[in-house]
Amino acid sequence: MATRPSIESVSFNADASPAASTKEIFRAPYGCKIVGFWAKRTGGTGAVVNAQVTRSGVTADLCSADKSLTTTAYVAGTLDSAQTTLLAGDVIVGEIVSVAGSPTAVRIQIDLQYNTDAR
């Protein structure tokens, strides 16, 4: 059987005056790979975001540096390549590090790739 890669996205949406916070957004049911990190804000003057991967009780930042959202457009984060391969049971947590100027929403999106025969 041929292996066909597939991409899906998981996200953390913080609406109604988001503040610094974290939220579990995905627990890997099987192995997969993180291929993208995107974030945006609505309103306000800024926000700083990242995501974390927890593997065997050890937590590390997904992006090599926190991402500043200086515009309201989607921006990509630079992935830390040591954190992009997920094993079954690994957890991704979205993190709003800080906000400025009272944004009305912050969205963090993580793109995952897996092989359809792996499910």
| Largest Cα span, the chain | 53
pLDDT score at 114: 86
pLDDT one-digit tens code per residue, 10-39: 999 998 889 999 999 999 999 999 999 999
Residues 96 and 48: their CA atoms lie apart, in Å, by 6
pLDDT beyond 60 at 118? no
- Cβ neighbours, 10 Å, residue 83: 20
Residues 117 and 110: their CA atoms lie apart, in Å, by 21
Cβ within 8 Å of residue 87, ≥6 positions away: 28, 31, 55
- What the chain holds in terms of domains, given with CATH numbers, is 11-118 (2.60.120.230)
Reading the block at residue 90, the tokens are 């690994």
Task: Count Cα neighbours of 64 within 13 Å in the Cβ-side half-sphere.
Answer: 6
Q: Report whether 4 contacts 115 (CB < 8 A).
A: yes
The arithmetic mean of pLDDT across residues 75-85, rounded, is 95
Q: DSSP letter string over 10-64?
A: EEEEEESS--SEEEEEEE-SS-EEEEEEEEEEESSSEEEEEEEEEETTEEEESBS
